[in-house]
Amino acid sequence: MKPGASPFAAAAPAQRIAHLARTMSSSSSAAGASTATSSTPAPWRSLFLEHINTMAAPEFTLATLHSSSSSGLVPRARTCIHRGLFASLPANPKNEAPLNPPTYESDLLTLTTDARMHKTPDLAAGTRGHPRGRLGEGGGVAVMGRTR
């Protein structure tokens, strides 16, 4: 794998699908029938969404731990724009194609980033004393909302 490349991108398609299946939970279908499986939302979800949805600009600070050969772990904080949660992103108003039914819910925050930035490897990396485990179990992360 190239330095700075995401281990998620290098994973076999079956591993990526298994990871997505673990992180997404079923909800009610568009027809109102409940699907067979469900899980409880993350404990932070409702409070985070309540706060982010009342902000004039849905910005938050994402802090990660970056591994540096000279000084060990170095904290990095970046301002991010909340785009939505993975399975419930807002539709593109310019795309007139029909939408898939709202089958899934997810607690995964959705961000956009430049591929040259270190956010993705920092999120995927393990931390000292806590090496990376299964795909998707990354390093230390903190999220903080702010108001203007």
Q: Residue 53's domain spans which residues? A: 41-88+103-148
Of 23, 40, 17, 11, give the one whose Cα is nearest residue 109: 23
**Of the ranges 18-22, 94-98, 122-126, the best mean pLDDT one:** 94-98
Question: Do the domain assignments include residue 128?
Answer: yes
Question: Do the domain assignments include residue 69?
Answer: yes
Question: Do the domain assignments include residue 49?
Answer: yes
pTM of full prediction above 0.75: no
Q: What is the pLDDT of residue 126?
A: 56
pLDDT tens-digit series, residues 76-109: 888 888 888 888 888 888 989 988 888 888 888 8
Question: Do the domain assignments include residue 62?
Answer: yes
Q: What is the pLDDT of residue 16?
A: 67
Question: Do the domain assignments include residue 10?
Answer: no
Question: Do the domain assignments include residue 113?
Answer: yes
Question: Do the domain assignments include residue 12?
Answer: no
Count structural domains, the chain: 1
Question: Do the domain assignments include residue 21?
Answer: no
